[in-house]
Structure 1
Amino acid sequence: MNPNFAWLSIPKMKHLFFFLLLIINAAAFSQNKRAMRAFMQQTPSSVNAIPYGNNPKAGHHVQANDAKIYYEVYGKGKPLLVLHGGIVGSTYEMAQFIDSLAKTYQVIAISTRGHGKSEMGSGIPSYERKAEDVNTIIQAVTKDSVLVLGFSDGAYTAYFLAASHPDKVKKLIAIGAGEWKQGWRTFDNSRKSLFRLDSLYFNQQLALMPQPERFDEWLLSVNQYYNAINIGKQILGRIQCPVLVMAGEKDQNAPLKTVIAAYEMMPKAQLSIIPNAPHPVFLTNFPAVWASMLPFLEQ
């Protein structure tokens, strides 16, 4: 065991057993503006970095009902979908995963509707719609079922995909996505608040969008949807594939009790909690996340 990372992995059994391997990781997550830009920014951080989410060499579009959805394909092997976070998320935030996974898998990195080069569509960007978008891409790329890795909003989309199309998902890794009870938090994102957070990033995103003039309309519809939704046993209990539910111990968007609740609702779930880590846990402690998910993928 490498002494530079910490992780907790819990298989689903009749009784809950915690096997805790705790070793302190030196990396700390900063909430200052520079760290946020390092998290969100579309511009590659090094000369050799691939501009994920804006790479014409790997990019494709598919018509999914009312929207053209953009995706990129990297590597060869078993197909594995990568789904980024919502609103402030982009394919580029998943760079470490894509870099690592493309060595042994065919990685399909999707920009979900309303993000990056994907259109917004005409209706509410619900998880049902986004799951159908993803299913359309699966059908376009492979005849095989797929592995799925989703973060935050991408993990919720993956839950709905696995529940609605069980034949398409072999395994699912869901990071930062717990049970969701209506009204547990209020979503009131606006152009003003997001640009105050990081104007450079959102100017970059608007430049990629096929319909930037609809950004405010899209934000309003997302807020309304997030404020009204419930995600619990009705969806999670239908997921039959093996699921690795992962989160940072101090995830502010998916609090620990909601993550454990989601884990307990799925019949074939495993749980991995990264100590002392926030919502973007893979940016804080990627070695621990990788060490936890790799055995799950290879089982």
Structure 2
Amino acid sequence: MKHVLFWLALLLAGRAALGQPVPYGHNPAAGHYAAVRGIRLYYESYGAGPPLLLLHGNGGSMGDFQQNIPYFVAHHYRVIAVDSRAHGRSADPADSLSFEQLADDFAALLTHLRLDSAYVLGWSDGGIGAVLLALRHPEKVKRLVATGANFSPDSLALTPALWQQQQRGYLENKNRVFTDPVKRNEWKVFKLDVFQPNVPLGALRRVRAPALVVAGDHDVITLAHTLAIYRHLPRAWLWIVPHSGHATLQEHAGEFNRQVDTFFRAPRIPAGPH
């Protein structure tokens, strides 16, 4: 098996040299399963250096970081990209799902990897997970970046178009019986964002890790809610990305990567603006 993985690694290196994308999320040379908390959590590891945990959004996978992983590997991080429970290759047969559950999974993964702590970058649901990881397991997070995160599922946090779309999707399907396991899982993941998260903003005052709060100026998370998150985190910095929607890390990948790297590597983080 080691010989097979060696040749696969050479093949992938050759693809990268030819400008062909690495198949993040489907890379046997870098992929592993961790048995944590009753499931097999799939992750891929790249590079060497300070550990950086990447957390994707609802219905996504680690493949969403296609434009980010190469940058952080080249800048000497050990990148650990994970498929969240019930996403990608991390199957979860249970009927329910919560953000607290996901945060505990991420902490268990770091423990499994014998990592005391890591930098954490989360997008959308992954941003929620990054903050909850720092809230529930403060020793695990050195610094965190959360882009496009929300802490309530209502019309105060979400733009009217997104909130109405979610409500319509739920009402149209709430009485359906999903016999197909794939559809049943998709419905579970969809409901996660319809009813959660429900984290009082006051609870964010207990987060001690330095945090960079990011959103696009045309994000699906309201500016008012993003500002409220920023104001409740004790050691927070805010970046509203101009000319960007929800996918800040994809629409402005170059600038996003540089800003995140600068935040993580700053030799001294001040006490904060609050």
TM-score, normalising length from structure 2?
0.78
Equivalent in 245, 257, 264 of residue 297 of structure 1: 264
2:101 alignment counterpart: 129
Given that residues 112 and 130 in structure 1 are in contact (C-alpha distance below 8 angstroms), is that contact kept between their aligned partners in structure 2? yes
RMSD of Structure 2 on Structure 1 (CA): 2.4
**Letter in structure 2 aligned against 1:90:** S
Secondary structure of 1:216 counterpart: helix
Percent identity over the alignment? 32
Report 1 or 2 for greater relative contact order, CA contacts < 8 Å, sequence distance ≥ 6. 1
Of the three residues 70, 86, 98, the one matched with 1:99 is 70
Residue in structure 2 matched with residue 288 of structure 1 by the alignment: 255
**What amino acid is aligned across from residue 75 of structure 1 in structure 2?**
G
Equivalent residue pairs, number:
234
Match of 2:242 in 1: 275
Tell me how far 1:63 sits from its aligned partner: 1.6
Q: Give 2:7's aligned residue.
A: none
SS at match of 1:50: coil
Are 1:272 and 1:292, in contact at CA under 8 Å, matched by a contact in 2?
A: no
Q: Aligned-pair distance for 1:234?
A: 4.5
Report 1:145-184 matches (<5 A).
Answer: 145-182=117-154
Structure 1 residues 69, 234: CA separation in 2 closer, same or farther (over 3 Å shift)?
A: farther
Letter in 2 for 1:237: R
Question: What is the TM-score normalised by the length of structure 1?
Answer: 0.72
Q: Please report how far the alpha carbon of residue 123 of structure 1 lies from its aligned counterpart in structure 2 after TM superposition.
A: 4.2
Distance in 2, matches of 1:298 and 1:73, equals: 20
Query: Is the CA contact 2:55–2:126 (under 8 Å) kept in the aligned structure 1?
Result: yes
- Do structure 1's residue 112 and structure 2's residue 84 form an aligned pair? yes
1:216 corresponds to 2:183: yes
Structure holding more helix per residue:
2
**CA displacement at 1:226 relative to structure 2:** 2.5
Q: Distance in 1 between matches of 2:241 and 2:155?
A: 27
Structure 1 runs of 4+ aligned residues shifted over 6 Å read none
Unaligned runs of 5+ in 2: 1-15, 157-162, 174-178, 267-274
Q: Any conservation in 2 of the 1:160–1:235 contact (CA below 8 Å)?
A: no
Question: d(CA) in 2 for partners of 1:82 and 1:175?
Answer: 12
Instruction: Please give the secondary structure, in 2, of the residue aligned with 1:167.
Output: helix
- Equivalent in the alignment of 1:83: 55
